[in-house]
Structure 1
Amino acid sequence: MSKRGKKVEDAVDEENGNAAAPPEAKKGKKGKEPEAPILYEDPPDKLTSKDGSAANMKITSWNVDGLRAWVKKKGLDWVREEAPDVICLQETKCAEKSLPKEITSMPEFPHKYWSGSEEKEGYSGVAMLCKTEPLNVTYGIEKEEHDKEGRVITAEFASFFLVTAYVPNASRGLVRLDYRKTWDVDFRAYLSDLDKRKPVVLCGDLNVAHQEIDLKNPKGNRKNAGFTPEEREGFTELLDAGFVDSFRELYPEQANAYTFWTYMMNSRGKNVGWRLDYFVLSKALLPNLCDNKIRNTAMGSDHCPITLHLAI
């Protein structure tokens, strides 16, 4: 394959390891500059639901790509400015014993919950920081083969469950695609069981761009982790089980809205990205939905944060 023969334009997360750079921009006619990137500008927050109820629950989710590095990059300053009621973090890559004091001592969030990989230091990991104490908190999805990687925290509140997840990647060469397919089935069953008890808010890095509109270069990524037919079908089956992609519910035709950009080839500056981070809601929560924001100007990770407004 020639140096410019690669069609992989961008890729997904630390687990697949093949975050190939986008191809070089095609040169225009002599003397002409390349076309400017098409950026996404997050519109003003909508703070009322369809029936006019005021938003009173604000949840933020962010894949931080390493908690300690993110803290050093002033990620907590952004969180304080955003001021969510709950912040969910993924890919923390940090054992609880190694957590930086800047985050463990945050008075804004007196209730903090952590889950990390049991087998690999500096791998995977999720966290949930809450202003109000949940009724109950659990870890994992009650399947040992999945739970050892520290990928899920569930908090029960009075009127809903909040689940934060860092979904496993199919990895370079799709070596974990079969595992990912098993995960999708088991995770869907877990969420459906919760939904029978109370409505569910799922947030996190779900490691899939569901439709072609959800990444910059769909044609070149059909055989890559995050955009395989199997992973996309897994997400479709989750929605068919009674859940809604809240961003697409509100903005069905919005293109160029991404939450992940590989660090290579100035992908973020060119907005060559993927939408991998979601708020997925039980259909019962649709009347409570006010807005789903993509905060793509927030720096500190190869992902940007997303924020959900609910009227609960």
Structure 2
Amino acid sequence: MKLISWNVNGIRAVLKKGFLNFVKEHTPDILCIQETKALKEQLPRDLILENYYSYFSKSKIKGYSGVCIYSKVRPISVSLLGKEIFDNEGRGLIASYDDFILVNGYFPNSQALRRRLDYKLDFLSYVENLVDSLVCSGKNVILCGDFNIAHTEIDLISPDSNRDSPGYYIEETAWLDGFLNKGYVDTFRIFNKDPGYYTWWSYRTRARERNMGWRIDYFVVNEFFRKNVEKSLILDKVMGSDHCPVFLELNNVVS
């Protein structure tokens, strides 16, 4: 089974930048999108993808946030995160499948001067408790999306000068440390321990051209499910957004 997660920075905008060709080329079984910036009813017909079921979490703020899941396999169930302050911003979707539960999240940006750090930390705590409860009930979990956190110094350019930047605040990296250490796996790091691999680049200063980026988009699984992870990649040649997609291939699951 192939899964892709991508912050498209506006799903209607990325449609004009080769999105449909991307889907045809990679043919994911499940495609998780963040930052849709659109309601389902606003989508052009081309974005109702043939052979995919589609599910959306919309923000109450027009043109802001939002996530969606396109799935070739009909999920057993799909729900919002279940907490109003996060669902009002379209922060996530939960989809249940035979072999795992998928959580697609657009994690809040903590913003300069820590303006939304408390909101971000509330979100992190909520997602952690949600995932923990699912794993404790015997489920395998895939948590994916734009975390808006660079985990360690090899996950961003110039870590020293960015120590007080949103996405690399000590509170954020400490949370991700603790979360992974309790029994979750950053799937990309199973296969690749090297620096210089990023998923987001600022539109300013030709950052992508110079590969001056941050790795803030993830596929994370519970430790028991690690054995089903066949491949985890960053598709950094794919254009169309300030983020690139990330890819996960699973073995021995129902597709």
User: 1:95 is matched with which residue?
Assistant: 39
What TM-score does the superposition give when structure 1 sets the normalisation length?
A: 0.79
Aligned-residue Cα RMSD (Å) equals 1.0
User: 1:16 is matched with which residue?
Assistant: none
Contact 1:162 1:200 in 2 (8 A): yes
User: 1:194 is matched with which residue?
Assistant: 134
Contact 1:154 1:162 in 2 (8 A): yes
Are residues 1:67 and 2:7 paired? Answer: no
Give aligned-pair identity as a percent. Answer: 40
Contact 1:124 1:150 in 2 (8 A): yes
Are residues 1:270 and 2:214 paired? Answer: no
Once the two structures are superposed, what CA deviation does each residue of 1:72-117 show, in whole Å capped at 9, x if it has no partner? 111121111011100000001111221121111x2131x1001111
Are residues 1:84 and 2:28 paired? Answer: yes
**Counterpart-to-counterpart distance in 1, 2:88 and 2:133:** 21
Contact 2:33 2:69 in 1 (8 A): yes
The answer to which of 120-129 and 182-191 deviates more is: 182-191
Larger relative strand fraction: 2
User: 1:26 is matched with which residue?
Assistant: none
Are residues 1:223 and 2:164 paired? Answer: yes
Are residues 1:114 and 2:95 paired? Answer: no
SS in 1 for 2:212: coil
Count matched residues.
251
Question: With CA pairs under 8 Å and 6+ residues apart, which has the higher RCO, 1 or 2?
Answer: 1
Once the two structures are superposed, what CA deviation does each residue of 1:5-25 show, in whole Å capped at 9, x if it has no partner? xxxxxxxxxxxxxxxxxxxxx
Once the two structures are superposed, what CA deviation does each residue of 1:150-202 show, in whole Å capped at 9, x if it has no partner? 11111111010011100001012220011111211111001111112311011
Runs of 5+ unmatched residues, structure 1: 1-56
Are residues 1:204 and 2:145 paired? Answer: yes
SS in 2 for 1:298: coil
**Counterpart-to-counterpart distance in 2, 1:292 and 1:184:** 23
SS in 2 for 1:194: helix
- Work out which of the residue numbers 247, 263, 287 in structure 1 matches 2:188: 247
User: 1:283 is matched with which residue?
Assistant: 223
